[in-house]
Amino acid sequence: MKLIRHLAIIGSLLIAFFLLGHWIPRLLHSDPRDWQWIAADPSPTLQDSATVLSLHDDLQREMSVLKTSKKRGSKPEIWTVGKGVAIPVYLLRAQRQIRRRSGSVLRMEELNGKQQSARLMWRDSLGDSCTVEIRIGDTFLDNSSRLAIGFVLIQPPTAAELHSLSTLSAPYSILVQPFDTNKTLLYDLDQLPNKEIVAWLGMEPHRYPWISPGPKSILIHHSEREISDLIDEVVHRIPSVSGITTRMGERAVEHKPLMQALLRALGKRKLWFLDLTQNRFSRSSEVCSELGIPCRKSRIKPSEIKAEEYLRSALNTAVKSGENIVILPLSEENVNAVRASIPQADSLGTQIVKLSALMVQSE
């Protein structure tokens, strides 16, 4: 027994000496950068957990979650969000953020029930999945939806109309004909508070030349250079102009080469485009998407609808979809209707803004 024990001790010592002789020279002659990774390598588990939590937190911030709660058992976490934004809008915000973080949406559906709710399931970039239930709460979010207000000058404004605008506390846009408005009036409009000026630019209508869209309008036979020069003239007459809207223009917006030339000119000058033609054959959205130019479509309030009724309907649409645009002919009555709608907008969590606030190119 003693002999076996001695042999085992001797064998252990030989193995130890062999290992020391093999590794000590390597360590003495190695570059420290070759073995620093041993201490620097983070725990994969901790790194993965931080990534998942970061995406989880980013989604809560993106959706302005008011409260989180957990059901018993394995049911999903509940996120309570504010009124004033529709469920589809919340889901689109979540989808955009998940894709931005290189994740993928596995399931996204509205749930049937008394309370507005939806279920969202996603997988992050590491392959981990999570499911939450989104519910609309009882509290309105501040500025959760936006309503853009514009007043169009169909005829020169009266002193009373200008005074009414000057006392309007909400932001608004003024649509003016750039080549049919004298410089004195343009100066007076530029002095108004809370406003932005938009060019209501004539474009070729279906019944041209029997119907004229006004002086220096954009016509189908114009070259790209002529259109670019015309936009330069608009900017020269109205240096603070923020965008261009259509005056007539039903035929012009159907003509893709013309729209491409116009929108390229606007893009170079950081101007946006608003299509008021209501032409279902308009190519404006298509070309805007191709060129990456901020665009929207809307219409001028029909004369047979009262301003109060029109604004009430527009606010309801803004609450459901997240945003809306209202264009009203300038009059004391219409300005006062907007003024009267401000408390209702506040109670619904809707912010009244200028047109430019909605003219952001979608990702």
Express each pLDDT in 336-349 by its tens digit: 999 999 999 988 88
- Of the pLDDT bands very low, low, confident and very high (cuts 50, 70, 90), residue 32 is very low
User: Can you give the pLDDT at residue 16?
Assistant: 63
- Of the pLDDT bands very low, low, confident and very high (cuts 50, 70, 90), residue 21 is low
User: Can you give the pLDDT at residue 11?
Assistant: 66
More confident residue, 61 or 223: 223
More confident residue, 128 or 139: 128
- Tokens encoding 25: 């020279």
In DSSP notation, 203-269 reads E--TTTTTS---TT-B-TT--HHHHHHHHHHHHHH-TT--EEEEEE-TTGGG-HHHHHHHHHHHHHT
Give per-residue pLDDT as tens, 271-312: 999 999 999 999 999 999 999 999 999 999 999 999 999 999
Which residues are CB-neighbours of 223 under 8 A, at least 6 positions away? 261
Average pLDDT over residues 13-24: 59
Sequence ranges of the domains in the chain:
54-139, 145-358
Average pLDDT, the chain: 85
User: Can you give the pLDDT at residue 1?
Assistant: 56
- List alpha helices for the chain, DSSP H: 2-29, 37-40, 44-62, 87-100, 159-166, 183-190, 224-237, 256-268, 284-291, 307-321, 332-347
Q: What is the CATH number of domain 54-139?
A: 3.30.460
Q: Residues 337-345: contacts with CB within 8 Å, 24+ apart?
A: 337/307, 337/308, 337/311, 338/149, 338/168, 338/170, 338/172, 338/307, 338/311, 339/168, 339/169, 339/170, 340/308, 341/308, 341/311, 341/312, 341/315, 342/169, 342/170, 344/312, 344/315, 345/147, 345/315
8 A C-beta contact, residue 118 and residue 134: yes
Residue at 267: amino acid letter:
G
User: Can you give the pLDDT at residue 45?
Assistant: 40
Q: Of 67-81, 118-132, 170-184, give the lowest mean pLDDT range.
A: 67-81
Give per-residue pLDDT as tens, 48-68: 444 445 788 888 888 888 888
| Spatial distance between the Cα atoms of 309 and 209, rounded to a whole number of angstroms | 36
User: Can you give the pLDDT at residue 218?
Assistant: 97
| pTM given for the model | 0.68
Phi, psi dihedrals of residue 301, rounded to the nearest 5°: -50, 130
User: Can you give the pLDDT at residue 269?
Assistant: 96
Average pLDDT over residues 235-247: 97
Average pLDDT over residues 7-28: 59
Average pLDDT over residues 224-228: 97
- Of the pLDDT bands very low, low, confident and very high (cuts 50, 70, 90), residue 93 is confident
User: Can you give the pLDDT at residue 52?
Assistant: 47
Is residue 189 pLDDT above 70, yes or no?
yes
In 3D, which of 334, 21, 2 has the Cα closest to residue 168? 334
8 A C-beta contact, residue 117 and residue 136: yes
DSSP-assigned beta bridge partners for residue 323:
146
Q: What is the CATH number of domain 145-358?
A: 3.20.20.370
pLDDT cut 90: percent of the chain above it: 56
- Of the pLDDT bands very low, low, confident and very high (cuts 50, 70, 90), residue 23 is low
